[in-house]
Structure 1
């Protein structure tokens, strides 16, 4: 149940911050993959209440897979933007300002909450009580 709650809350926590736009969360006003994570959190909550451990494990694995996919895609996108930036602004007098802006794009603490929730769902699904 705690894993589902962490996932649910984590969707609304900041996952990345960037200049001008500020902090972004996983939900992105219903347009992001956060909607899928919310659904998986609800599935995990229901599965824990009815003791459907396989479903609990499945929702945890699906959540973690989606989170990792998004995290690595985000890292790749940041890397691509930095590479393109270096090519486009080579020799420009504004390059220094752009570098400062790019360095200020940061991964935020919401990722830890989201991953914690997904891992808890997996652990709960694996560590089912002996009957």
Structure 2
């Protein structure tokens, strides 16, 4: 394989790694870098991968070294940012269930957090680009001028990505979920999933009158990670006049006789997640990305495919009103 082909391969692996799972979260499921959020990170990494491929196309594969290094720095920063967020989510979750009588049973929820194979593709892509560029530099007999545009472009993209990660982290620090004491003092419910405290009467009334779950479907689906599992899909509409930071939905599963045999909770709207997703604003509709679904892996085999009901379990208002 030529060094040019190696760089092309690395750029392809890096781009593919943006679309496959990098982490699995409780009630959220698997998340990719391209997870439908508002972050520009996947677009910047995709542009860096494109720069590397462009250098290979121009037969200047050794110039792909800097895009490769830039992508590597961004991937490392993305990984560190993820670890910080997961640590914060775990800490807030533990605080939210501290006085809950079911705390022992709920404590294992965060054990379901796991890194996924998308990181392997990202790392392999970065390493392959750098390897191909270094090998091309060693084997090059003539010192052809380097492409300054590729160098400047990759540096600008990397700086932009790192700047966004730092900015995003600042936003997280500035918009952290209130502590338990602050929550109780304000009379509002916590935004941490898994908490069983009663929501405020205002939220309960708004939820009953204005938050709608519809287009509910459930059937056995083929999952890349888990094989054939019960898959659930639905939409959520905010018919009211306030933005929602959190919407938690409970789906109940029934057997052939119509008896409820299991239930699963899902968080379609959660602004405190990995992607800083926006709140569900008045009149807005949430739906899954095309081709995706919630995997309900703990539902027993006695479930009759298609027999489900869903209801909104909990909401939290967004600070933006």
Q: Normalising by structure 2, what TM-score?
A: 0.39
Q: Which has the higher contact order (CA 8 A, sep 6+)?
A: 1
Q: How does 1:52-71 map to 2 (within 5 A)?
A: 52-71=60-79
Give the superposition deviation at 1:97.
Answer: 4.4
1:64-106 Cα offsets, whole Å, 9 max, x none, are: 1111101011111111222222233223223234422211011
Task: Report the counterpart of residue 74 of structure 1 in structure 2.
Answer: 82
Match of 2:38 among 22, 25, 31: 31
The Cα RMSD (Å) is 1.7
Contact 2:62 2:132 (C-alpha < 8 Å) held by counterparts:
no
Separation in 2, partners of 1:84, 1:127: 47
Contact 2:18 2:122 (C-alpha < 8 Å) held by counterparts:
yes
Separation in 2, partners of 1:3, 1:97: 44
Q: Normalising by structure 1, what TM-score?
A: 0.89
Q: How does 1:11-50 map to 2 (within 5 A)?
A: 11-29=18-36, 31-32=38-39, 33-50=41-58
| 1:24 aligned counterpart, secondary structure | strand
Question: Which runs of no fewer than 5 residues in structure 1 stay unpaired?
Answer: none
Equivalent residues, number: 131
Bigger shift: residues 92-101 or 34-43: 92-101
| 2:36 aligned counterpart, secondary structure | helix
Bigger shift: residues 43-52 or 113-122: 43-52
Name the larger-Rg structure: 2
Question: Which runs of no fewer than 5 residues in structure 2 stay unpaired?
Answer: 1-7, 142-321
1:21-65 Cα offsets, whole Å, 9 max, x none, are: 211111123733111111111111111121334530111111111
Contact 1:11 1:114 (C-alpha < 8 Å) held by counterparts:
yes
